[in-house]
Structures are given as structure tokens and as C-alpha cells.
Amino acid sequence: MALHTFRPRIVDALRDYNHSRALADLGAGVTVGVVALPLAMAFAIASGLPPQAGLWTAIIGGFLVALLGGTSVQIGGPAGAFIVIVYGIVERYGVANLLISTACAGVLLFALGLLRLGNLVRFVPVSIVIGFTNGIAVLIAVSQLKDFLGLQIAKMPGNFFSQLDVMAQHAGTVNPYALGLGATCLAGLFLWPRLFMHNAPVLRMPGGYSVRSFARIPAPVVALISLTAFSHFMGYPVETLGTRFGGIPQSLPVFALPEFSWDTVRLLVAPTITIALLGAIESLLCARVADQLNTDPHIRKHDPNQELMAQGLANFVVPFFGGMPVTGTIARTVTNLRAGATSPVAGIVHAATLAVIVLAAAPLALHIPLAVLAGILLHVAWNMGEWHEFARLRKFSHHYRLLLLGTFFLTVVFDLTVAVQVGLVLACVLFVRRMGELFRAESEVLPDAVVPTLAWRLHGVLFFGATSKIDPLVNAIEAAPQGVQVLLDASDLFALDTTGLEALEQILKAAERQAGRLVLQGAQAQPASLMERSGFNARLAAQSARTQPYAAANPQEYGPSSGETPG
């Protein structure tokens, strides 16, 4: 297998780069950098990590994904889909082992891209993707209720039902100030984009400004700044970044190697595969969304293998600075694209913008209420879920419903690893069943046949999942009189596997036991090749030769030659 050539998209994107594109990338990068600020902090906190872990993941990971990736506008960083996974790993294995798992997942992602396996991610059925995406959205929402309501809970468990039980036990500790801030934040996030609508009312302000003009500022940024200032000046007794984490360090992260041993790596196989699999699915799904939304001729379709290699390098490097898993982020990528980005330069500017904000304004983060960040994440969870798919389930097959709902409930009740593993196995089983149902053997009537003749036309794919449909043919041959002639028309048989070939062998042996012969006509390329390589054609020809003397001596029974060619 040829290895993929490492060639970042930025190399080609800068060939015809000009001043106008540079200005567009600069504006888009600054915009998405501002948007990423509250999201990066919120994702880290919800994952059980300090806010700076999310911020430096967005900065370092976003820079590496933009610089080395296979897309033009993708923004890398922490993602909502990882909240539940990271929180579970931290609860079970600790932060140090999360860093090791993330680095190992980076190696795995790089290997997938290097071996040109990026397209394999597309083999994950859309029903599974929708199922675990909606499941993760539910888990994110439940995990944020503690801070949204201001509940006095020292530490939240990682299990879904345990979280509900603990919150029910502490329902009497609701903080009305936190609830008010969180509800206002959530309502504002839903209302703010509506100010873009042409028919929305325009509120005039002194200086000629209007509310619709301010609507161009990202909603999470407006919510974060306005509600933080309001809460601080009103002196509301709510938990903030400062009271829980002591704020955000106003300095560069320290490079540190986590303790590493092969014994530890062996224990972390499951979380490593989970991080790698989810990272690959999320990043390539994000790249495909960007391709579909793109109308700029300068932006080429993504290279999935190069993107996986870049994601791998980012995930390998970020843990050394205390970061969390990196992947493509759909919301920020779409924001980047709609803000006018034309190349990976916008992603680099996004990382630089975020770094400047963190280093210059870190002390101001002390007063950010956690209820506001919870409101932002509840909005993310709502937008993340494809809830309309539940209403559309009645339009699809039972297989589709089983996969989607099964993956959804397994994600919520157990975890993403179990959900994806069971979902993929179930998808394979259902696919085999469906393909087996499509195969059929139709009986044909030959009115001119002189001798006892059984004829069938084979349709579809004869493989291990469909061989049970050959049993009636064998039974019919064994019940036929001696000297029966069996005709199989394989012109509509598109594919054959070794188990299917064994089924044909059973038909051949049944015909031999009845002193008859098997004639197989019209085999297509793949079945004919397998029958030739396995020696089936030779056995078929030998049987025909054995019955030929009897046919020549009794032409009144076999009638004129049909001109068939075995195999």
C-alpha cells in the first residue's frame, strides 16, 4: 500500500494569495477567535478540566490543524462532542492518563492518514452518527444543569442516572441568581440571531446605531461580556471562574512530559480508540459540511488523509501543554467560512487572536459566572442535536430506526465507546440480513424440456448471508427423478463469495447423486473468476463429460443441445 504524501493545504492555498484574500482571512480569523473564547473555556470546564486547558487547546491545536491540515477553512480545537468522553476518562483514569490517551490517539490518527484510511470514516452509517451526536447532546445538557441551576454539589458523577439522582437530592439548593443569569443567557442566545432577519424590528440608538447592527457581534461574546459585567456590579452570590479555579494564568503554558509506561498504555486502549475514532469522525464530518457550504472557487475540497495526519499531530502535541483532545469544530468552521475565510491563514489568525486575548485579558475572566458558561453550553447542545431526525423516523425502515435509537440510548446509558461498537456490529448484521433478503432464486419453466429439468435464475449476491436460500434448490433436486438436468442462469448474479460457492457445490453434488448434470449459464466476471480459480469450473466440466455419453445415446430424452457453456 502506497503511503500518503504529507502536503498541507496551506502550501497550495498560498500560490495565488493576494491582498484582498489576506484581508478576508484576517477578518474571519479575528471573528472566529473571539467566538472560540467562551466555547473553549466552557468545553474544558464541562470536561472536568481548568479553563486554560480548553483555551490553549484551541490556540495550539487550532494553529497546528490550520497549518498542517488538508482543508482550507476548518477550525480545530476542543469540541462539545468530547465533553462526555473526556469527563469520563478523567473520572476513571485521571488527568495524567487523559493526556497519555490523547497523545496515543494522535499517533493512531496520524497512522490512519498515512495509510490512506481517511475514507473509511465514511463507512460509519449516518444513523449511528446521528444517534451518538444526539446522545452526546443530551449528556452535555444534563451535565450543565448543576451550574445552570447553581446547585450546591461538590462533585458530579460521570454516570447519566447518577447525575440525575444527585441533582434530585440537591434540588433544594437551587441558586435563583445563577438560574436567572443562565436563563437570560440561554434566551439571549436564541434571540440574538433573529436580529439579522430583514423583517426584524430595528431599535434606533443615539449615534445612528441600531440593534440589528450590533447583531453582527457573536452572541456568545455578547452574553459573556454583558452578563459578567451585570453580575459583578450587582454583586450576585454566584460561583465564578475565580471562585472555582482561581482564574486563568496570564502566561504561556509550560511544556511537560506526562509519566509514560507501556503498562499504562495497555490499560488505556479503549479511551485511546474512542478519542481517535470520535476525532476522525468529527473532523472529517466537519470538513464535509464546509465543502457543502463553500461557494468560493479558491477553496478546494478537503483531503481526508492529510486532515487526519494534521489532527494526529495536533493531538500528539497538545497534551504536552496540558491540553485536551483536538478535532474539527463545525460551529466555528461554519462561522469562519461565513465570515469570508479563503485559506488556512484564517485558522492561524484565529489561534493568534485567541492567544492575544488570553495573555492580555486573563484577569478579567475571574468574574465570569459559571451559570453563563452553562447557558452557552446548553445552547451548544441544542444546536448540536439533530432533533428533527426523531420526528422523521417513521419515514424510514426498521433497520434505520433500530440503529439510530439503539446508538442514542447506548450513548446516554453507557458511553460512546459501547454505542459505536455495538452500533457498527449491529449495522453489519442488519446489512448482511438486508443483502441476504435481496438475493433470490426464481424458478423457471422450460416447456420444451424432454428430460426431467429444474431451472432457476439467480438474482443478487450469493454470499454467506444468503446461502440458506439455496437449501430449497438442493431439496428439490434430491426429490427429482434420476437423470435430472439442473439449469442455473447466473446472468443476474452480481457477486459470489466462498460460502456462496460452497452452496453451488452442494447443488452440483445433489445433481451427481441423482445421476444428473448441472449447467450454469451466463456467469458474470467476479463469480466466473472465483469459480475458475477454485476449480469449480473443472468439476462442472468433469460432471458434464460423465453425463455426455448417456445424453448422446439418448437424444430423445435430452433433446437438442442448448449450447450452454459451464461456468
What CA–CA distance (Å, rounded) separates 362 from 374?
20
Query: For residue 561, what pLDDT band results from cuts at 50, 70 and 90?
Result: very low
Q: What are the pLDDT digits (tens) for 194-227?
A: 776 555 555 555 555 555 555 567 788 889 999 9
What CA–CA distance (Å, rounded) separates 285 from 293?
13
Q: What are the pLDDT digits (tens) for 101-137?
A: 999 999 999 999 999 988 887 778 888 888 988 998 8
Residue 139 per-residue DSSP state:
H
Task: Tell me the average pLDDT across 350-364.
Answer: 90
CB 373 within 8 A of CB 147: yes
What backbone phi and psi angles, to 5 degrees, belong to 30? -65, -40
Query: Which set of grid coordinates corresponds to residue 550?
Result: 448417456
The structure's pTM equals: 0.78
Task: Tell me the average pLDDT across 257-277.
Answer: 84
Between 447 and 325, the higher pLDDT residue: 325
Between 158 and 114, the higher pLDDT residue: 114
Q: Specify the pLDDT at position 557.
A: 44
Q: Specify the pLDDT at position 562.
A: 39
| Contacts (Cβ under 8 Å, ≥6 apart) of 89 | 97, 98, 101, 271
Q: What are the pLDDT digits (tens) for 300-337?
A: 888 999 999 999 999 999 999 999 999 998 888 988 88
Q: Specify the pLDDT at position 444.
A: 84
Q: Specify the pLDDT at position 565.
A: 41
Q: Specify the pLDDT at position 397.
A: 84
**E strand or H helix at 25, and its extent?**
helix 19-46
Q: Which residues pair with 495 in a beta bridge?
A: 461
Q: Specify the pLDDT at position 335.
A: 85
Q: In the chain, count of helices (H) and strands (E)?
A: 26, 6
Residue 123 per-residue DSSP state:
G
Give strand ranges (E) for 40-83.
Answer: 76-77
Query: Which set of grid coordinates corresponds to residue 204?
Result: 434606533
Closest CA to 309 of 72, 56, 120, 106: 106
Q: What are the pLDDT digits (tens) for 502-551?
A: 999 999 999 989 888 898 988 899 999 999 999 999 988 888 777 655 44
% the chain with pLDDT above 90: 44
Q: What are the pLDDT digits (tens) for 387-422?
A: 999 989 888 888 889 999 999 999 888 877 788 778
Q: Which of 262-266, 303-307, 337-341 has the lowest mean pLDDT?
A: 262-266
Report helix angle 370-384 to 19-46, nearest 10: 110
CB 380 within 8 A of CB 235: no
Largest CA distance in the chain: 110
- The average confidence (pLDDT) of the chain is 86
Q: Specify the pLDDT at position 15.
A: 85
- For the residues of 185-252, what is the DSSP string, one character each? HHHHHHHGGGGGSTTS---B-TTS-BHHHHTTS-HHHHHHHHHHHHHHHHT----BHHHHH----SSP
Count CB atoms within 10 A of the CB of residue 363. Answer: 11
Q: What are the pLDDT digits (tens) for 68-92?
A: 999 999 999 999 889 888 998 998 8
Query: Which set of grid coordinates corresponds to residue 77?
Result: 480545537
% the chain with pLDDT above 70: 92
Query: Which set of grid coordinates corresponds to residue 88?
Result: 469520563
Q: Specify the pLDDT at position 200.
A: 54
